[in-house]
Structure 1
Amino acid sequence: MIRTKFFKLLSLLFLIIFASGCIDPTATDDIPISDLNSEDLVESLQELIPGRMDSPLPDETGLGEQNKTEENDSTARLADYISPEVPEIPTYTEEKSNVVYPKEYRRLSLNFQRGIVSEDEKIASEVFNITGKTSGYNIKDACNVFDYVNQHWEYRYEKNSDFFFKASQTINEGYKGDCDDYSIVMSALLKNMGFNTRVVTATNETYGHAYPELYIGNNQETLSEILGYVQSRYYYAENIWYSNRELEDGEIQYWLNFDWSGSNGYRHPGGVYFEGVEVIYYPTGLIEF
């Protein structure tokens, strides 16, 4: 019942804050976190936020210290590294055809789906431009896409929060947009490569934000292989953050944070998550609160 009560409050909070726009990727680390007065409401907030995990880097590798020696060592390791395959698209066993979501969430879900048109010729061309490949993609290619998009991204505040550009339009305009546009572009590129993403919106008392996550499997072995590659590639990363999603049958899916690198300076996949009350949008139309 706590979730049901809070859901009614969340609808208003979500519309007011998220409509105000996203965080500028040049923001500092000082992101205000929700500090609600009601203890019961705070507990409800915490229940609604999925579990977060970070993968600490082993001390013996020296990762996290930014110097030329480590960069050369990292490059040498990657030269002989076989990039792990990104797992196939998961199934959503919890999705029920008779579920009816509130209007504001249905509208946002459709906006994301309409913006993420991965079959667009422009998207396919851009993937080839970045990776030089038309198939056989792996986590290395996903990271190449992450790096390319973030190197070219220019934050632009969008006044009309109810309107989302298609990914191809944002690319044609030179990778300019806010967090909605970024999430759509990144998702479209990765989806064209055969990967699966989901878009997460998070709100606190001050900000609204959206970011994509990349599905990286449902077992520890695959998770470790992918995180190992990311840690080796981005030698300066202190931690690699990902989230887990437990299904009704006990299966656990893992999702890697693919938020833009400019946010708080985490210039690698798996940066620290933006904290807030989350709503998760899947490509099938499934919505999780």
Structure 2
Amino acid sequence: MKALKFLFLIFLVSLTAGCMDTGNLKENLFTDEVNKLLPEGMVPAGDFEAEEADLAGIGASESTPSPRIPEVPTYSEEKSGVVYPKEYRLLSLNFRRAIGSGEERIETEVCNITGKASGYNMEDACNVFNHVNRHWQYRYDKNAEFFFGASQTIDSGYTGDCDDYSIVMSALLKNMGFNTRIVTAYNESYGHAYPEIYIGNNRDTAYEILDYIAERYSSAENVWYSERVLEDGQETQYWLNFDWSGSNGYRHPGGEYFRGTCIIYYPNGLIEF
């Protein structure tokens, strides 16, 4: 299996990002062939301006049942007393405020996209991904510290930068009962932000969802996800990359990660470096 994993240490929690080769995935879902690599320096990034992507018809047919997405995970209580630097606390607060604004408008938009008011599963999450990416128009924001509320970005015609995209996607998925986190990543040339969605704390559950992505999207040669190993080593949380299609050319959830130094913002205020 061709797989790439890169490892970061976050406090005493380890975060591993990797991918699954869907050719092998479809033949042997629970293979143990997973390569873990430390990157040799920074990986050059391309130009991350969003390109218009026509996702109409993408993921229109599924040959496997859509799995449910697991419940919201718990977070390590040891982190609750940590005092973060002011700039990170402010960024975390702004993310949470923007995601939580205009909840009634967000609920209406979720219903418009999925045709449902409850009982959401991975199929619905993928439909949200398709809808947002089909309509997204990239707009560079010179004021990196100011975030529009999710409902405002939707009402403006899904126009914004990577921060706005992460906020909108997180707000829609949160309204559906799913859990997301926003990752900001920086390398020597670029900065980027992208959302991830929680897909479980055991490999069987996570791989069921990853297999669904591989089956639904014929273009998904690899499906990228992250592993968050808790400090006691007793639990691993799995997170699926939900970055936009325009930033990396992928037209499915689980596109390749933007590689750089990461800071992760959780919905409860936890920040990991």
- TM-score scaled to structure 1, two decimals? 0.76
2:214 to 231, 242, 263: 231
* Whole-angstrom CA distance in 2 between matches of 1:46 and 1:217: 20
Q: 1:9-20 counterparts in 2 under 5 A?
A: none
What's the counterpart of residue 149 of structure 1? 132
What's the counterpart of residue 179 of structure 2? 196
What's the counterpart of residue 250 of structure 2? 266
Q: Could you say what secondary structure the match of 2:244 adopts? A: coil
Residues 140-169 of structure 1: per-residue CA shift (max 9 Å, x gap): 000000000000000000111111000000
1:177 to 160, 163, 166: 160
Unaligned runs of 5+ in 1: 1-44, 63-71
1:102 and 2:85 aligned: yes
* Whole-angstrom CA distance in 1 between matches of 2:114 and 2:60: 18
1:282 and 2:266 aligned: yes
Residues 80-100 of structure 1: per-residue CA shift (max 9 Å, x gap): x32100000000024533210
Query: How much has 1:174 moved relative to structure 2?
Result: 0.3
| Greater helix share, structure number | 1
* Whole-angstrom CA distance in 2 between matches of 1:277 and 1:155: 23
* Whole-angstrom CA distance in 2 between matches of 1:111 and 1:165: 9
* Whole-angstrom CA distance in 2 between matches of 1:279 and 1:181: 17
| Greater strand share, structure number | 2
Runs of 4+ in 1 over 4 A off after TM superposition: 45-49, 59-62
Q: Which amino acid aligns with 1:54?
A: C
1:246 to 229, 232, 248: 229
Unaligned runs of 5+ in 2: 1-6, 28-56
Q: Could you say what secondary structure the match of 1:202 adopts? A: strand
Residues 231-289 of structure 1: per-residue CA shift (max 9 Å, x gap): 00111111000000011232000000000011121111000000000000000000000
1:84 to 46, 67, 86: 67
CA RMSD of aligned residues (A): 2.2
What's the counterpart of residue 210 of structure 1? 193
Q: Could you say what secondary structure the match of 2:146 adopts? A: coil
What's the counterpart of residue 112 of structure 1? 95
Query: How much has 1:46 moved relative to structure 2?
Result: 5.3
1:52 to 17, 28, 43: 17
Residues 78-135 of structure 1: per-residue CA shift (max 9 Å, x gap): 25x3210000000002453321000010010001000001661110000000000000
* Whole-angstrom CA distance in 2 between matches of 1:114 and 1:59: 41
Identity %: 66
Aligned length: 234
* Whole-angstrom CA distance in 1 between matches of 2:148 and 2:102: 16
Query: How much has 1:75 moved relative to structure 2?
Result: 6.4
* Whole-angstrom CA distance in 2 between matches of 1:106 and 1:227: 33
Decide whether the 8 Å contact of 1:119 with 1:192 is kept in 2. no
Decide whether the 8 Å contact of 2:23 with 2:221 is kept in 1. no
2:240 to 239, 253, 256: 256
- TM-score scaled to structure 2, two decimals? 0.81
* Whole-angstrom CA distance in 1 between matches of 2:263 and 2:172: 22
Decide whether the 8 Å contact of 1:118 with 1:189 is kept in 2. no
Larger radius of gyration: 1
